[in-house]
Chain A
Amino acid sequence: MVQNSSEQHRPLTVPEEWRSGVHNRLTEISTDWSSDQDAFKNVPWGKAMMWIFLVSDTFIFTCFLTGYMTVRMSTTEPWPVPSEVFALTIAGHHIPLILIAIMTFILITSSGTMAMAVNFGYRRERHKTALLMLATALFGASFVGMQAFEWTKLIVEEGVRPWGNPMGAAQFGSTFFMITGFHGLHVSIGVIYLSTVAFKVWRGDYQSRGYEIVEIAGLYWHFVDLVWVFIFAFFYLW
C-alpha cells in the first residue's frame, strides 16, 4: 500500500552523492517506524496502551521519589535510621529490615509466577494460567497484608504520624505513608485486576480472542514490582 513514501513529499531530493550508508540506514529506520497502520507491528492496542500508561505512571513514581529525596535532604531534623525503625524482634533476635526483606522476596516471587502464567497463556493452557495468576494475586494480597501490619506497627507502637514521629524528621512519616501507600494501592488494584482476568481465563472467555490480556496484566504487575525495587532501595536501604 505504501509506495516509496519517503520520496513523495520531498520537494528537494538529497543528491545521491550526499547519501552515505548512515543516511540510508536512518531513512530505512524512520520509514519502518512510520509505516502505515501501526508503528509497533503485531502489538495489540491494549498492550501498546498499557506500555504508554506505564511510562506515564513511571513519571508519577519518579516525582514521588524525587520529592522524597528533596525533603529528606532539606529537612532540618535528622532522618530516622530506616534499618532500626523497620526492625522486628523475632524469638529474641533483633533483625533489621526482616519484614521488608520477606515482602520484597514475596513480590519478586509473584513476578515469577506471573511470567509462568503468561507462558501458559500463550500455550493456551487456560487452567494452569488461571491458577498461576491466582497465585500471583495471592502473593500480592499477602504483600498488602504485611504492609498493613507494618503500617499498624508504625502507627500504633512507634507513634509515627504524617505530621511527626518520635524518631526525627516529620517528613519521614509523611513520605513513608504517601509513597508506600500509593504503591500499596497499585498492588491492591493489581490483585483485583489479576483476579478478574484469572476468573475470565478460567471460564474460557479468551479462547477465541487469544491470551494477550494475560501478558498485558503481567506488564502492569512486573511494573509494580519494579517500582517496589526502587522504593526498597531509596527508602529502606538509603
Chain B
Amino acid sequence: MAHVPYQEALPLHEPKSFWTRYVWSQDHKVIAIQYTLTAVAVGLVALVMSWLMRLQIGFPGSFSFIDPSTYYQLVTMHGMIMVIYLLTAIFLGGFGNFLIPLMVGARDMVFPFVNMLSYWAYLLSVLVLMASFFVPGGPTGAGWTLYPPQAILPGTPGSDSGIVLMLVSLILFIVAATMGGLNYVTTVIQARTYGMTMMRLPLSVWGIFMATILALLAFPALFVGGVMMLFDRLLGSSFFMPAVVSMGKMLDYQGGSPVLFQHIFWFFGHPEVYIVALPAFGIVSDIISTHARKNIFGYRIMVWAIVSIGVLSFIVWAHHMYVSGMNPYFGFFFAITTLIIAVPTAIKVYNWVLTLWQGNIHMTVPMLFAVAFVSTFTIGGITGLFLGNVVIDLPLSDTYFVVAHFHMVMGVSPILVVFGGIYHWFPKITGRMLNDTLGQIHFWLTFLGTYAIYFPMHYLGFIGMPRRYYAYEGYQFIPESAQDLNVFITISALMVGAAQFIFLYNLAWSAFKGKPAGSNPWNATTLEWQTPDTPPSHGNWGDRLPIVYRWAYDYSVPGAEKDFIPQNQPPAGENPGGAATT
C-alpha cells in the first residue's frame, strides 16, 4: 500500500477554534511560525547580551553593572542561545517545519500532534533557560561549552542553580528536537507526493533532512553529557570531576575525567555546526538558483556533498580538543578528517559560483543575502583550514582568531541565510512582500557591519589577544593600539545590532501593510509556490495532491514559454520526459 493515496484520502479536519488554529495548532505552518517567533525573541535577548559584552571590551570599566561574573554569564548565554535556541530551532523548527511538507508535496508532517508537542517542549526549554536569569546567582557563566570541572565548582557564576537550569533546559530542548526531527525525517522519506523522487527534492529539503539526521544522532551525546553533569552537580557523583581542591578545601569528588565531557560534548558539538550549516547550504542553493534564473550547477554532487559532509562531521570532533591533552596521534587523525571535509564544502562553494556564472542575476534582497553568505562562508571556511591543522591551531587556540572564525562560519553565515530565507519565503507565509528599501538598508548594514566586526578580530587573534577575558589591560604582549580596534568592533557591533530592528520593523509592518505578493512572486519552480491558496490553507493542496514531473531547477529552459517550469507542470506533448537538460 503506497501512502500518498492514504494521505490524499485523509479527511481534512479544519480547526475552528482560535485556540486550536493558532495556539495549540497541529498545522506545520503555524508551528513553523511559532518556532520562528520564539527563536527570534530569544535571539534578541542574546543580541542585547552581545552588545553588553562588546561595551565592556570596547570601554572597559565604563559600565559598572558589568562585573567579571556578569561578563562570563553574558558570554555563556549569548553563545548557547545563538547556537541552540536560535539557529538550531529556527532552521529545523522554523524552516524545516514550513518547507518540508510544502516542498515534498505533503499535507502536513506525518504526526502533527507530535510536531505540536515538539514546539511546546521547545517553548518550555526556552522558559527554563530564561528562568535562570531570575534565580539566585543568575545564569551559568561556564562558557557555552560548559566544561567541567569549573562549570559546577563554587566560584563560577551561576554554579548553584544557573547550571542546573541550563542542563535541564538543554535536555528539554533535546526532547523537543527529537520529536520534531523524527517527524521531519519520516516526512521526507515516506510522505512525498507522486513523482517526487529523492533526486527531485529541492536542495533546501536535502539540507534540512540531513541536518535533522545529524541532530537525531548528535543530540543524544549532549543528552548523556547533560545527565551525567546533573548527576555530578546534584548527586555528588564524579563522572567528570577529578579530585579538586577548591578555595583551599578538598572537595568530595574523585577519579572522574573532565576530558570525557569534552569528547561527549564535541561529539555533539561538531555535528551541531553542520546542523546549522547544512540547512543554510540547501536554502542558499535554492535562493541562488531561483534569483539567477538558472538551474543549480551540479545538483547530484550538491546532494552527495551534503550527505558526505554530514557523515564526515561525526569523525572530526576532537579538532576542538587539540590543546586538551589528548594523545597526539588523535590530533593527526582528526586534522586529516577535518581537512577532508573541506573538499565537499569547496565543491559546494564552486557550484554556487558556477550557478551564478552567466545567470540572469536578479539582485533582490534574498539574493543579496545568499551571495553574502557565499562570501562570509568562504572566509570563515578558509580560517577553518588554519585551525584544523594542529600546529597552527596550538598558538591560535583560545584567541580572537577562533572567535572570528566561528562567528564568520557558523554565526554570520547561517544568520544571513535565515534573513535571506525569510525575505524569500515571507510572501508565501503572509501573502505580502517585505519592503524592499528597508530590506536593502538592512542587508548592507548587516553585511558590511559583520565584516567590520569580525575581520579585525583575525588580526587581534594573530597578535595573541585571548578570548573570554573580562578586560585586556596590563598585558605586555597586547599592544595598546589593539584597544582602538576593540572600540571599532564595539561600535560596529552596536550598529549591526541596531540594524536588526529595521528588519523586525519591516516584518511587522509588511505582514499587514506590505504589497500583496500573489502566489509566486519570484517565479520559482518548487512546489511551495504552486499551492492553490496563498498563504497555503490547512492541508496545503486542496482536494488533490500535486503531481511532480520534473526536478526543482527548470529555469531558463531553452524553447520553453517562460523562464521557469514549475515542478508540477506536465511535460509538453513533444517533450515527454520533461527533459530540462539538452
Contact in complex: A38, B255 (CB < 8 Å): no
- B452 in contact (CB, < 8 A): no
Contact of B220 among A33, A42, A63, A169 (CB under 8 A): A63
Minimum distance in angstroms from A13 CB to a CB of chain B: 9
Whole-angstrom CA separation of A49 from B184 in the bound complex: 10
Contact in complex: B220, A9 (CB < 8 Å): no
- B189 in contact (CB, < 8 A): yes
Minimum distance in angstroms from B409 CB to a CB of chain A: 25
- B257 in contact (CB, < 8 A): yes
Stretch at the interface among B159-167, B236-244, B279-287, B481-489: B236-244
Query: Please, which residue of chain B has its CB at the minimum distance from the CB of A41?
Result: B2
Contact in complex: B191, A45 (CB < 8 Å): yes
Whole-angstrom CA separation of A22 from B236 in the bound complex: 58
Minimum distance in angstroms from A141 CB to a CB of chain B: 25
Minimum distance in angstroms from B85 CB to a CB of chain A: 20
- B513 in contact (CB, < 8 A): no
- B245 in contact (CB, < 8 A): no
Whole-angstrom CA separation of A35 from B256 in the bound complex: 50
Whole-angstrom CA separation of A178 from B264 in the bound complex: 16
Contact in complex: B256, A36 (CB < 8 Å): no
Contact of B581 among A8, A35, A36, A70 (CB under 8 A): A8
Contact in complex: A163, B238 (CB < 8 Å): yes
Q: Which residues 74-126 of A have a CB within 8 angstroms of B?
A: 74-77
Minimum distance in angstroms from B112 CB to a CB of chain A: 11
B576 partner residues in chain A, CB cutoff 8 A: 3
- B541 in contact (CB, < 8 A): no
Contact in complex: B260, A74 (CB < 8 Å): yes
Give a binary string over B60-97; 1 marks a CB under 8 Å from any A CB, 0 the rest. Answer: 00000000000000000000000000000000000000
Contact in complex: A43, B190 (CB < 8 Å): yes
Whole-angstrom CA separation of A10 from B579 in the bound complex: 10
Given A2-B197, A9-B551, A171-B256, are A52 and B185 also a contact pair (CB < 8 Å)? yes
Q: Which residues 191-249 of B have a CB within 8 angstroms of A?
A: 191-200, 216-221, 223-225, 227-228, 231, 235-239, 243
Contact in complex: A56, B178 (CB < 8 Å): yes
Whole-angstrom CA separation of A173 from B217 in the bound complex: 27
Minimum distance in angstroms from A55 CB to a CB of chain B: 7
Given A36-B196, A39-B198, A170-B254, are A163 and B235 also a contact pair (CB < 8 Å)? yes
A62 partner residues in chain B, CB cutoff 8 A: 220
- A67 in contact (CB, < 8 A): yes
- B250 in contact (CB, < 8 A): no
Query: Please, which residue of chain B has its CB at the minimum distance from the CB of A3?
Result: B577
Given A5-B199, A38-B2, A43-B190, are A67 and B224 also a contact pair (CB < 8 Å)? yes
Give a binary string over B19-57; 1 marks a CB under 8 Å from any A CB, 0 the rest. Answer: 000000000000000000000000000000000000000
Given A45-B110, A63-B221, 7 further pairs, Cβ under 8 A: A3-B577, A34-B198, A45-B111, A53-B182, A74-B260, A163-B238, A171-B255
- Name B's A-contacting residues (CB within 8 A): 1-4, 110-111, 178, 181-183, 185-186, 189-200, 216-221, 223-225, 227-228, 231, 235-239, 243, 252, 254-257, 260, 263-264, 267, 299-300, 547-548, 550-551, 553, 576-581
- Name A's B-contacting residues (CB within 8 A): 1-11, 30-31, 33-46, 48-49, 52-53, 55-57, 59-60, 62-64, 67, 70-71, 74-77, 162-164, 169-171, 173-175, 178, 182
18 A–B contacts, CB within 8 A, in A order: A1-B195, A2-B195, A4-B577, A5-B200, A8-B551, A37-B196, A40-B189, A42-B1, A56-B178, A56-B219, A59-B218, A60-B223, A76-B254, A162-B235, A163-B238, A170-B238, A170-B255, A171-B238
